Amino acid sequence: MAAGANLMNNDPILKVEHLSMRFGGLMAINDLSFEARRGDITALIGPNGAGKTTVFNCITGFYKPTMGMISMTQQSGKKFLLERMPDFEITRDAKVARTFQNIRMFSGLTVLENLLVAQHNMLMRASGYTILGLFGYSGYRRAKEQSIEIAKHWLEKADLIERADDPAGDLPYGAQRRLEIARAMCTGPEFLCLDEPAAGLNPRESQALNELLRSIRKDTGTSILLIEHDMSVVMGISDHVIVLEYGQKISDGTPDEVKNDPKVIAAYLGVEDEEVEEVIEQIVEIETKQGGQI
Amino acid sequence: MEYFVQQLINGLTLGSIYGLIAIGYTMVYGIIGMINFAHGDIFMLGGFAALILFLILTSVFVGLPVVLLLLVMMAAAMLTASLWNWTIEKLAYRPLRGSFRLAPLITAIGMSITLSNFIQVTQGPRNKPIPPLVSSVYNVFGISVSLKQILIMILTVSLLAIFWYVVNKTALGRAQRATEQDRKMAALLGIDVDRTISITFVMGAALAAVAGTMYLMYYGVIVFTDGFVPGVKAFTAAVLGGIGSLPGAVIGGLLIGLIESLWSAYFTIDYKDVATFSILAIVLIFKPSGILGRPEVEKV
Amino acid sequence: MATLSYSKESAAGTLTVRALREGFYAGLIALGLFVLFVGLETTQNIRNELVLNQRWGLLAIFVAVAAVGRFLGVAYVQPWAAARKAARAAVVQKEAPEGFFVRNFSKLAIVALVLMPPVAVSLLGVQGSLKWVDNFGIQILIYVMLAWGLNIVVGLAGLLDLGYVAFYAVGAYSYALLSQYFGLSFWVLLPLAGMLAACWGIILGFPVLRLRGDYLAIVTLAFGEIIRLVLINWTEVTKGTFGVSGIPKASVFGIWSFDVSAHNNFAKAFGLPMSSAYYKIFLFYLILALALLTAFVTIRLRRMPIGRAWEALREDEIACRSLGINTVTTKLTAFATGAMFGGIAGSFFAVRQGFVSPESFVFLESAIILAIVVLGGMGSLVGIAVAATVMVGGTELLREMTFLKTIFGPDFTPELYRMLIFGVAMVVVMVWKPRGFVGSREPTAFLHERKAVSGSFTKEGHG
């Protein structure tokens, strides 16, 4: 449903080619290739332990992949090979931001300060790497005001404006999730990686999250890659779904295509390949029965 | 060659003492993640207890066999040091458990200052020399090995064997390892965590007291400041070996003993501590978790 | 009713029994702890042999204090404390508006410090004021400055540095040696010493900042020791344990000198009687200015992106990296900035003493400075200043307590107990207030209103 708006520039923003990641004897990712298109919301799904977070950590530089290439092409056409860059440069230069499965807040800083830390690099430049700022350089003062405006914008988007001056550690779980996304957006990313943003949210919060993600894409044109277990989020907002199992891609397509892929069903239900047909038959049977009852 | 082997033996002796102290550091660190800065002073306290026992025994029972003398000194030192460490843990460290990470460290530094100054105030600031206890020296292939060195190494090895057995084979050791892994879960499974931690402190102190007795016997002198330098070296040994790992502590101790004696023998004695600390820094820079330490996996 | 009073009585009875039992155990433990160390004393006789002195009376006092103290604690203090806690919990805590004194504490403190020397001089005379200006004022302010410097590293960036005294030593020796060998003046060397210390901070910091937590702590401790050992052993340059003496005095910006023979001597220029007190008063204002500079820079930096990045680093390093912050350079700047203030304080120390030796830069100094930072409440400048005053001033005060000699006899030397009491105080304060005197944190920016962040949210870093 959402794909239509971005048909114009459907070039890939992120290209993962033959990515492999080995931990000791364990092959966490095995020859994985996929693409995320500009302006799309791409979802990465799969059973627990399929290697989704490892893919994220490779993209964002927290792990160095054993093999493979990850390239990111910015709107301007500038291309970055992410597997060669240290993590902070991936955010700073390649404009890839991320959130974490276990929320990582600066819990002793206020909500507003969290968002200002995210604008560190812009503010550092504006303050002449601290030296000019120390002497009250006016350009820095302007940049500071601007950074607060940006923070305010995202606080409003994430519905956190009321809590701006509270310590981040004091926020309820759902608000912390939204704050983490707002914080990532304050780095001005072109590509946003969200690791289970809906985990632990109640249905209403999940709905609000959907809204937030849609508006991020619509207003900023940021492409999104998300790992998610909550199928209402995945099917509701993503344009493109990639399914991983045991570190390999088993399916890749639109939500509808993936939903009906026998391999995906088998992966989620945990059956051998030969039994897939059988399982699908059973599912169909159950569905028709239920349908009949209604 | 003989000179080299000679220095090797000297280094191993010194290293045994460091290793014994280092075990206390590494165990406490392993179980509650705290640098027990006062541990070096517990070692010094043990040495003083042995010294006082020596003076009592030699003045009351003249002509006591040396073996018996050493055994009683050691036992008294172990008892006293253990009681001190037990009390310190209970009064100063336990209330801070689970709080702010730096609070126990500062408390331990405060405890270290307290203990060394307590000994200074009660026993005086001067060096305390004693006549040599064991003076036989054996000559093997041109290498002189003193009985003290043999005693220290035998004692270290046997204590380590006992210790290894306790930690790996007994219910107590299992409780310790469980508490180390996950204190809350261990408590839920019915392990008396407080008691386990107390016992860990007692065990560490007992080993430090043995080291203190050995130190007194080996050098024949002790002073109230003697807790600091061996303490820091032993802690260095624990870190070098990989903090939290028992064999690592011993290997680290031996390594530091060897570095020190070989450096003094072949280079300049003035810079032996500089050499020790530099090697520590270099090892940690290239292998941040020490020689036998489990690498810290960065969970993202 | 009857059963109720009965159970109350029996509760009181069992409490007493319990207190007696606990008191007995405490006495027993104290006996075990002190029997060897207090009951007996090792001293040398005329032939220089060790002999034992018996002090059973003193041991009895120790044991009795422990037993009675524990008994009273269990029987009276604990129930009282519990009752008070319950009573406090029952009353809804109303936040009292902060008084004028609390609100303007730092301003009042600065005014008081500026006024202190003239007040001391007018009350006690020029010579009489020396003790207060020098022993208390300058001594405490040096520690305040050092602790504020270390606070940048430990309190803000959350990097545990156990070798801070190394930078203090670098600063002190920079001044001592450069002024002797090259004849450079204090005002040239003061910033130079700071810069040299900062360079050392970067040199030492660069390889080790990859390490985390306690590994960083031990390596910084090792570096502190290495620098001290080099100062001891590099005798051709540093004169080893003898130290460097005859370090030239500072002048008032080169205009007035404090050398007695100089034509532009301060006292001569103003027609005052010769006294060393003027120099001390000048030094007092100098260290006050340097300490305030440290505080000013810290406050400014906290509101700048770099300061916020330091605090963010303390909270969560991985999140910092995910936001594009170069954590290595961020840590290095914290290390270097802290080192710079340590170096400046060091060159002040050298000029004040006129003599430096490796003796002044032992690990204990690092420990004391770190203790002041933690006792004050990490990150809080006011808390740290209070902690420095209490800990350093308190132990200095002990020197003054000559009246104790009338109680404990003429052999009693209070100085001997100075470090013992310092150590005990460290333990007691930490157990009583693990987060230090000021546990909360002031936010660096706000939208609607500035609210202090409770200490329970802030983290202390892993590095």
DSSP sequence for C195-240: HHHHHHHHHHHHHHTTS-HHHHHHHHHHHHHHHHHHHHH-HHHH-G
Would you report the helix, strand and coil content of chain A in percent, each value rounded to 5? Answer: 45, 20, 30
Taking CA–CA distances from B270, the nearest residue in chain C reads C233
With a CB cutoff of 8 Å and minimum separation 6, the contacts of B104 are: B32, B34, B93, B96, B97
3-state secondary structure at position A108: coil
Number of independent structural domains in chain C: 2
In the predicted model, what is the mean pLDDT of residues A35-40? 85
**Per-residue pLDDT at C306 exceeds 60:** yes
Residue range C90-123, pLDDT digits in tens? 665 555 556 667 767 777 888 777 777 777 777 7
Do the domain assignments include residue C435?
Answer: no
Measured between alpha carbons, how far apart are the two ends of chain B, in Å? 52
Torsion of CA B21, B27, B28, B30, to 10 degrees: 140
Give the model's pLDDT for residue B41.
94
Beta bridge partner(s), residue A12:
A37
Report if residue B236 sits inside a domain.
Answer: no
The pLDDT assigned to A275 comes to 59
C378 is a domain residue = no
What per-residue confidence (pLDDT) applies to C189? 87
Q: Which of C63, C426, C454 to mutate to test the interface with B (most CBs of B within 10 A)?
A: C426
Chain C residue with the nearest C-alpha to that of A90: C324
Q: Quick check: C460 pLDDT over 70?
A: no
Q: Across the interface, which of B119, B235, B285 has its CB nearest the CB of C37?
A: B119
Determine whether the interchain pair A184/C304 forms a contact, defined as Cβ–Cβ distance below 8 Å: no
Q: Are B113 and C419 in contact (CB under 8 A)?
A: yes
Q: Is residue C306 part of a domain?
A: yes
Q: Are residues C82 and C112 in the same domain?
A: no
Domain assignment present for C256: yes
B66 shares contact with chain C (CB less than 8 Å): no
Q: What is the mean pLDDT of chain B?
A: 86
**Average pLDDT value for chain C:** 82
CB contact under 8 A, C443 and A165: yes
Q: Alpha-carbon distance C285 to C120, whole Å?
A: 14
Q: Which residue in chain B is spatially nearest to A104 when comparing CA positions? A: B300
* Residue of chain C minimizing CA distance to B228: C363
Q: Name all chains with 3 or more CB-CB pairs below 8 Å to chain B.
A: A, C
Separation of alpha carbons C132 and A87, rounded Å: 54
Overall average pLDDT of the C406-425 stretch? 77
**Residue B164 C-alpha, separation from nearest chain C C-alpha, in angstroms:** 25
DSSP-derived pairing of the beta strands A67-73 and A12-23: antiparallel
The domain boundary, picked from C310, C330, C363, lies at C363
C170, containing H or E segment: helix C165-182
Q: Is B80 part of the contact surface with chain C (CB cutoff 8 Å)?
A: yes
* pTM for this predicted structure: 0.84
Of the listed ranges A83-87, C2-6, C268-272, the least confidently predicted one is C2-6
Are residues C243 and C183 part of one domain?
yes
Task: Verify that C67 and C209 share a domain, yes or no.
Answer: no
Question: Across chain C, how many H-helices and E-strands are there?
Answer: 21, 4
ipTM: 0.86
Q: Do C43 and B124 touch (CB under 8 A)?
A: yes
Do both C147 and C221 map to the same domain? yes
Please enumerate residues of B whose Cβ is less than 8 A from a Cβ of A.
298, 300
CATH number of A1-105+188-256: 3.40.50.300
Taking the CA of residue C449 and the nearest CA in chain A, the distance in Å comes to 7
Taking the CA of residue C350 and the nearest CA in chain A, the distance in Å comes to 29
Instruction: Give the model's pLDDT for residue A6.
Output: 44
Q: Which residue in C430, C456, C459 has the most chain B C-beta atoms within 10 A of its own C-beta, making it the best mutation to test that interface? A: C430
B108: closest CA among B122, B91, B126, B125? B91
Domain holding C25, by residue range, is 10-87
Tell me whether residue C407 is exposed, middle or buried, using C-beta atoms within 10 angstroms of its C-beta: 0 to 12, 13 to 18, 19 or more.
Answer: exposed
Tokens of C293: 């500079």
Chain B contact present for A87, CB below 8 A: no
- Top pLDDT among C2 and C326 is at C326
| Residue C412, domain member (yes or no) | no
> Which residue in C297, C327, C446 is closest to A165 by CB distance?
C446
Residue C57 domain-assigned (yes or no) = yes
Average pLDDT over residues C131-159: 88
Whether the pLDDT of residue A290 is over 70: the answer is no
| Res. B50 pLDDT band, cuts 50 70 90 | very high
Q: Which residue of B has its CA nearest to A56?
A: B300
State the nearest Cα–Cα gap between B55 and chain C, in angstroms.
7
Sorted by where each begins, the domain ranges of chain A are: 1-105+188-256, 107-170, 261-294
Range of the domain at B7: 2-227
CB contact under 8 A, C320 and A117: yes
Q: In the prediction, which pLDDT does A288 show?
A: 63
- C76 lies in the same domain as C215: no
Regarding whether C306 and C219 lie in a shared domain, the answer is yes
> Does C93 reside within a domain?
no
Among C198-207, C239-248, C414-423, C447-456, name the one with the lowest average pLDDT: C447-456
C252 in any annotated domain:
yes
Confidence of residue C461 (pLDDT cuts 50, 70, 90): low
Residues of chain B in contact with residue A53, where contact means CB-CB under 8 angstroms, are 300
Q: How many domains, chain B?
A: 1
Quick one: pLDDT at residue C341?
Answer: 94
Report the C-alpha gap between C192 and C200 in whole angstroms: 12
The H or E element spanning position B105 is helix B102-123
Q: Do C212 and B96 touch (CB under 8 A)?
A: no
Query: Alpha carbon C366 to chain centroid distance?
Result: 9
pLDDT digits (tens, 9 = 90+) for B200-218: 999 999 999 999 999 998 8
Q: Do C167 and C202 fall into the same domain? A: yes
**How far is C307 from C316, CA to CA, in rounded Å?**
14
Task: Compute the nearest-CA separation of C315 from chain A (Å).
Answer: 5
Out of C304, C447, C449, closest to residue A127 by CB: C304
Of A89-103, A223-237, B17-31, the one with minimum mean pLDDT is A223-237
CB A163 within 8 A of CB A171: yes
Domain boundary among C330, C363, C396: C363
